[in-house]
Structure 1
Amino acid sequence: MRKFSRSLPVSLALAAALTIGMAACQKYEAGITIPSVTNPGVTNGLDTIYLGDSLKIAPTLGNIAGVPTYQWLVNGVEASTDSAFVFKPTANGDYTISFKAFAGNSLTGYYYRIKVFAPYENGYYILNEGSFPNPGSLNFYRGGEDTMITNIFARLNPGKTLGTTSQYGQLYNGKLYMVSKQGAFVAADANTLKETGRIASLPADGRAFCGIDNSRGLVTTADGVYVINLQTLTLGAKIAGITGQTGGIIKSNNYVFVLSETDGVIVLNASDFSIVKKSVKADVGFARSQDGNIWAASGKNLYAINEGTLEVKTYAIPVNIYDSWGYWNAGSLSAAKYENAVYFSETDAYGSGTKIYKFVPGIDTTLTTPLVKLPDNRILYGAGVRYNSRDTTLIVTALTSDYQSNTLLIYNAVNGTLKKTINYPGLYFPSMPVSN
């Protein structure tokens, strides 16, 4: 039985307050016995399970007179009249299960709140470059567990592989899109990981992907930016006016921000992809903070670009964020959802580093001391750092200095406390964590 943890959505935590034992309204006349639920069988009435699993609920009753009858409702629909109920869901989502026991002229009952996860919903993916020239791979960490599920894409899609040097992943509209430097651009169902489509190869080495709307996405490459039809997963036209290597990309309101090795930040109109402005000459990006700023970086500067006015504010930082054009990766910039904070790591040319900073604009002291210092003999690799809004943590992927062993580190994103360490061997070379 899997119990609720702090990693569950706030709405479910609030639902706990609604979990009650309800006694029927009867006249308290002499001789009437009022039954009660002495043990609901599920702690606090809350639990989580995964599709394919089942949950037996067997409440214990007290103060029963006569032979009781029972009723179980699942989201308002009768499902059983037995004393115990085996819940085996057919779809993921939030369920309310109500139990009623009738005895004589009285009844008692209990409400249960059950969260059902799809197999790969409660957790996050780790996209891996792979050991060249072997294809990239995908691992999955399930929330609250102590192991990493490795090579999950290959296991669930026999005979199919990702491209070579898989470098970027994004969850968008229920799908996981994966970009490799060479070879296939792949889409898979975000909850089952079953492949839903692929583009055999891109016009140039792939970099990053951004979903725009229900029918369009953009992919950056070593030679410009291309439109992708998300309905058919086919490659469209190249965006006019952008040549050479491009990397990071993010959509915010009416604009799309693209990182170009030649021009820095290029701002596109999200409707027709025309160039609106060539902004600051940054090398690493992007992240969107709570205040609506789009963040990029270069060397010892952070840039906050207002998503509405496109004005740029520069913040000097005491460490170097190395450009990744020669060995492209997505970079460590990430932003919090529930506070106005940006995270980044001090890096070298390969994305390696050992210190992670949390910068809160207006509080310069947040730049003087790193939020996180990696354990001894561990270095960041690739993007390395991503904020996870599901449980307010930092997902950090690290390697030993000989690259032979991998470590997933989970930190409290507010104070930098280390919450969990998962070690696993293999030449995976993690490129970036991918979460909602």
Structure 2
Amino acid sequence: MRSISRKFQLSFFVAVISIVGLASCSKDNEAAVVAPRIVTPGLKDGKDTIYIGDSRVLSPQLADVKNPTFLWLVNGVQASTDSTFTFAPTERGDYTISYKIISGNALATYYYQVKVLGKFENGFFLINEGWFGHEPGDVNFYRNGEDSVYKYVFQRNNPGKTLGTTTEFGTIFNNKMYLTSKQGAALVVADAGTMKETGRIDQLPATPNAFLGINTGTGLVGTTDGIYPINLQALTAGSKLSSVSGQIGGMIQSGAYIFVMSETDGVVALNSADFSKAKQVLSKADVGFAITPDGRIWAGQGKSLYAINTQSLLVDTIPVPFDINGSWGAWNAGMMTASTVENAVFIGKTNSWGAGGNEIYKYSPGKPQSLTTPFITVPAGRELIGAAVRYNPANNTVVVTDVKSGYGQNYADNTLYIYDASSGGLKKSVAYTGFFFPAITTFNR
């Protein structure tokens, strides 16, 4: 993997300390000072950003050196006394590498600054259902700025383990990824930087849909039969909540409330403190949730887009000239997402079962005309798949997944698109092959 020098603007300096020995006070006996010079440090500007699993060979070019000795320190700890040093970090973090060369009666020092990222820190994840009857669900990864998709990153980093069949949802909470799979009813937890599994519940009480992290000790799993609290330390499921029933889809927390979408109960606000029912906010909704910078939470159903005030729990209804379709029969997270830099909601126009289509709309509150013309249209002969439309807060883009229209082999023809969220302009498209059936895109935050 190639390194990326970015963001990390740390200063460095070369210090030459002359050590002068005097045989006597006479100028005739004064020892000559020969200072070694570091001509080039072997790393441009002395700075770099690399990933766990990568290494850097540091081999400075020197001049005016005679019978030298060397010392390398990593964050103040001695690491080597060779003339070159291979830096191969095993943990994320910021590192200062000190290089010292003693030659004759002088010392030269150089300071390198290296930022180490997790293998899967600088980019985003594509959660895949998997090919039912052939392959289990898995995770692909796109690294920012590259032109390829890294495939099967869960299996590759966890030999002999699988996520389960039909992996429909994944989200990152407190640097861990929580993944749910329908067949087998599993919840799997992995480190978001390395994709190493850290724990799992092999069999939840009901088939899981979505996960919501509440705090360091508690999460919620929405299932086809209600919501179950999860002890995140012991990774165990508690008793089903009595405050909401039916199949549960989207869940989102904002302040004093947790908003839950139920197929039977509609949108229900639960009290964050104890998960008791505060209010039924809507009698029905099929797609959601998304939250805009003004604090409103968005959901949709049919030809209606709903804006929920998270303080008063009142709802504004915005007419939509097309149907916002959900997918309760074969649930996925839906094609609705929101910007973090402007009050705007992105909606994928789908067919009656919440899939297909090739148009994405951007609704700006107070501008109904924004719903009359697509903001993004994927190329002809392609169709959106899964929860295909997701906003990336890291760089103000909209990430879209699609497949070739049709059936059979067409499902192995995937494309990942990255669009500018302000203009709708296409920034990049990456084609890749495999029967992945993308479910949802998940971002490191």
The alignment's TM-score, normalised by the length of structure 2, stands at 0.84
Q: Is the 8 A contact 1:19 1:112 kept in 2?
A: no
Q: Is the 8 A contact 2:185 2:208 kept in 1?
A: no
**How far apart in 1 are the matches of 2:62 and 2:215?**
53
* 1:408 aligned to which of 404, 416, 422: 416
Aligned pairs for 1:54-133 within 5 A: 54-61=55-62, 64=64, 70-101=70-101, 109-133=109-133
Q: CA deviation at 1:149?
A: 2.9
Q: CA deviation at 1:134?
A: 4.5
Determine the structure 2 residue equivalent to 1:351. Answer: 355
Q: CA deviation at 1:315?
A: 3.3
Residue 146 of structure 2 is aligned to residue 148 of structure 1: no
Q: CA deviation at 1:334?
A: 1.9
Q: CA deviation at 1:284?
A: 0.8
Q: Is the 8 A contact 1:404 1:425 kept in 2?
A: yes
Name the CA shift for 1:307/1:344 in 2 (closer, same or farther; >3 Å).
same
My pick for the range that moved more, 409-418 or 214-223, is 409-418
Q: CA deviation at 1:409?
A: 1.9
Q: Which amino acid aligns with 2:167?
A: S
**How far apart in 1 are the matches of 2:123 and 2:68?**
42
**How far apart in 1 are the matches of 2:364 and 2:113?**
37
Name the CA shift for 1:106/1:354 in 2 (closer, same or farther; >3 Å).
farther
Helix, strand or coil at the partner of 1:154: helix
**How far apart in 2 are the matches of 1:292 and 1:56?**
49
Helix, strand or coil at the partner of 2:405: coil
Q: Which amino acid aligns with 1:217?
A: G
Name the CA shift for 1:275/1:45 in 2 (closer, same or farther; >3 Å).
same
Work out the percentage of aligned pairs sharing the same amino acid. Answer: 49
Determine the structure 2 residue equivalent to 1:303. Answer: 306
Q: Is the 8 A contact 1:36 1:61 kept in 2?
A: yes
Name the CA shift for 1:429/1:108 in 2 (closer, same or farther; >3 Å).
same
Determine the structure 2 residue equivalent to 1:235. Answer: 237
My pick for the range that moved more, 66-75 or 143-152, is 66-75
**How far apart in 1 are the matches of 2:417 and 2:355?**
17
**How far apart in 2 are the matches of 1:255 and 1:425?**
42
Q: Which amino acid aligns with 1:228?
A: I
Name the CA shift for 1:223/1:65 in 2 (closer, same or farther; >3 Å).
closer
Determine the structure 2 residue equivalent to 1:265. Answer: 267
Which has the greater radius of gyration? 2
Residue 173 of structure 2 is aligned to residue 169 of structure 1: no
My pick for the range that moved more, 359-368 or 138-147, is 359-368
Q: Which amino acid aligns with 2:348?
A: S
**How far apart in 1 are the matches of 2:118 and 2:182?**
30
Q: Is the 8 A contact 2:243 2:270 kept in 1?
A: no
**How far apart in 1 are the matches of 2:256 and 2:399?**
29
Aligned pairs for 1:315-394 within 5 A: 315-348=318-351, 349-362=353-366, 366-394=370-398
Name the CA shift for 1:237/1:415 in 2 (closer, same or farther; >3 Å).
same
The alignment's TM-score, normalised by the length of structure 1, stands at 0.86
Helix, strand or coil at the partner of 1:187: strand
Q: CA deviation at 1:135?
A: 5.5
**How far apart in 1 are the matches of 2:43 and 2:369?**
46
Q: Which amino acid aligns with 1:405?
A: D
Helix, strand or coil at the partner of 1:290: coil
**How far apart in 1 are the matches of 2:61 and 2:224?**
65
**How far apart in 1 are the matches of 2:225 and 2:79?**
58
Q: CA deviation at 1:354?
A: 1.1
Helix, strand or coil at the partner of 1:410: strand
My pick for the range that moved more, 249-258 or 370-379, is 370-379
Q: CA deviation at 1:130?
A: 2.3
* 1:248 aligned to which of 247, 250, 256: 250
Helix, strand or coil at the partner of 2:239: strand
Name the CA shift for 1:82/1:242 in 2 (closer, same or farther; >3 Å).
same
Determine the structure 1 residue equivalent to 2:22. Answer: none
Name the CA shift for 1:305/1:425 in 2 (closer, same or farther; >3 Å).
same
Name the CA shift for 1:104/1:318 in 2 (closer, same or farther; >3 Å).
farther
Aligned pairs for 1:9-88 within 5 A: 13=7, 15-16=8-9, 18-22=10-14, 37-61=38-62, 64=64, 70-88=70-88
Q: Is the 8 A contact 2:130 2:138 kept in 1?
A: no
Q: CA deviation at 1:36?
A: 5.8
**How far apart in 2 are the matches of 1:307 and 1:373?**
32
Residue 425 of structure 2 is aligned to residue 417 of structure 1: yes
Determine the structure 2 residue equivalent to 1:397. Answer: 401
**How far apart in 1 are the matches of 2:65 and 2:235?**
64
For each residue in 1:352-400, what CA deviation from the matched residue of structure 2 results, as whole angstroms up to 9, or x when unmatched? 2212233343555644543322123221111012222334333221111
**How far apart in 2 are the matches of 1:428 and 1:25?**
60
Show structure 2 runs of 5+ residues with no match.
19-31
Q: Which amino acid aligns with 1:147?
A: S
Aligned pairs for 1:176-195 within 5 A: 176-190=177-191, 191-195=193-197
Residue 431 of structure 2 is aligned to residue 431 of structure 1: no
Q: CA deviation at 1:154?
A: 3.3
> How many residues are aligned here?
425
CA RMSD of aligned residues (A): 3.0
Helix, strand or coil at the partner of 1:237: coil
**How far apart in 2 are the matches of 1:58 and 1:148?**
33
My pick for the range that moved more, 48-57 or 132-141, is 132-141
Determine the structure 1 residue equivalent to 2:27. Answer: none
Q: Is the 8 A contact 1:123 1:140 kept in 2?
A: no
Q: Which amino acid aligns with 1:145?
A: E
For each residue in 1:81-134, what CA deviation from the matched residue of structure 2 results, as whole angstroms up to 9, or x when unmatched? 444321111212222334455667776554433222233333322222223345
